């Protein structure tokens, strides 16, 4: 095992559904051997791929792997609450939300599936505007006080929400939300168009979320960084929101640098996210050990300054 942790989190959305338990464990074993540390999951993964119409499969696979391998102290576990259907196949009309009782029960259910006493990061998965911001801040802060979560974060929330929640937490001397998890990649959609298949109205990383993170010391995590394989598979069309001149210019420069550096375009994207200010931790989902090895290699690669300048400014 290498000493340097790759600057990424392993996405496990399809563990136990699209990927069998055996395949999932092979990837987890390889991730550990490659020095991987953060493992990202959610209590709702993956209700849409399960006959039951409810989630929990990913956490269950990870928990059994942790118990069998005895490696809980070598990894960090990140999971979420707020998007699990309250009835089979009930999303998005019937979703658990972020009420105090719901969150308190959900984290205990997640800990049971994960076979651990605490998680290292607990995320509010999506907004619940029926709950006051102050109540959500207090609910999650109490989980830290109870030792059930080491850190707390907000996924798919706007920057203003994070700022308001943390002002409230600061006034109470409570734990703050210390990370934001949002959708981000090298290509960006038009801001006035809803991305096809994106369920979260505030799921995109913005200049405001980046500014908040940099000025207030929050970590940034990026989901769907590789656009479900679109960088390497032209047969997988990008959503229509990405159809604009900036996309074509960026893709051309990305492919040029991939050729120059003898890397895959997706590897360049991962290295570029790490190199941003503030740095962005990509959450990378893979379906094979080979894909995992490529991703880990990319997050350990330092792009030349010339590449950074050109990739960041084109388009």
**pLDDT digits 0-9 by tens, 57-68:** 999 999 999 999
- Whole-prediction pTM: 0.96
Alpha-helical runs (H) found in 117-222:
133-145, 159-172, 207-216
Spatial separation of the C-alpha atoms in residues 192 and 241, rounded to whole Å? 8
Q: What pLDDT does 230 receive? A: 92
Distance CA 52, CA 87 (A): 10
Phi (first) and psi of residue 116, to 5 degrees: -145, 165
Q: Please give the pLDDT value at position 177.
A: 98
- At the fourth CATH level, the homologous superfamily of domain 9-313 is NADP-dependent oxidoreductase domain (3.20.20.100)
263 Ramachandran zone, left/alpha/beta (phi>0; psi -120 to 50): beta
Which phi and psi (to 5°) does residue 79 adopt? -140, 175
The pLDDT score that the predictor gives to residue 1 is: 43
pLDDT at 2: 46
Distance (Å, rounded) from C-alpha 87 to C-alpha 300?
Answer: 42
State how far the Cα of 243 lies from the Cα of 241, in Å rounded to an integer: 6
Closest CA to 157 of 135, 185, 192, 125: 125
Instruction: Identify the pLDDT of residue 198.
Output: 80
**pLDDT computed for residue 196 by the predictor:** 81
Average pLDDT for consecutive 10-residue bins of the chain (315 residues)? Answer: 79 98 98 98 98 98 98 98 98 96 98 98 98 98 98 98 98 98 96 82 95 98 95 87 93 97 98 96 97 97 97 91
């Amino acid at each position: 095992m290498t000493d340097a942790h790759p600057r990424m989190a392993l996405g496990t959305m399809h563990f136990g559904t699209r990927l069998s338990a055996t395949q999932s464990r092979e990837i987890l074993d390889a991730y550990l051997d490659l020095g991987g540390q953060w493992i990202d999951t959610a209590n709702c993964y993956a209700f849409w791929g399960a006959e039951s119409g409810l989630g929990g499969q990913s956490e269950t696979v990870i928990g059994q792997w942790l118990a069998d391998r005895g490696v809980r102290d070598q990894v960090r576990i990140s999971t979420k609450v707020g998007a699990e259907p309250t009835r089979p196949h009930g999303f998005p009309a019937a979703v658990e939300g972020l009420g105090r009782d719901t969150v308190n029960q959900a984290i205990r259910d997640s800990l049971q599936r994960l076979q651990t006493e605490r998680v290292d990061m607990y995320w509010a998965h999506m907004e619940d505007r029926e709950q006051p911001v102050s109540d959500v801040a207090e609910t999650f802060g109490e989980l830290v006080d109870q030792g059930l979560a080491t850190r707390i974060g907000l996924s798919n929330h706007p920057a203003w929400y994070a700022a308001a929640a943390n002002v409230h937490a600061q006034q109470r001397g409570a734990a703050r939300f210390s990370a934001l998890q949002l959708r981000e990649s090298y290509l960006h959609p038009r801001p006035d168009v809803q991305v096809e298949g994106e369920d979260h109205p505030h799921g995109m990383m913005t200049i405001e979320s980046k500014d908040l993170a940099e000025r207030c010391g929050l970590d940034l995590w990026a989901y769907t960084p590789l656009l479900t394989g679109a960088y390497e598979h032209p047969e997988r069309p990008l959503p229509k929101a990405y159809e604009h001149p900036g996309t074509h210019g960026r893709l051309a420069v990305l492919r040029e640098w991939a050729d120059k550096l003898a890397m895959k375009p997706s590897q360049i994207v991962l290295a570029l996210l790490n190199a941003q200010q503030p740095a962005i931790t990509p959450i990378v989902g893979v379906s094979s050990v080979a894909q995992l090895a490529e991703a880990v290699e990319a997050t350990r690669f330092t792009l030349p300054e010339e590449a950074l300048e050109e990739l960041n400014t084109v388009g």
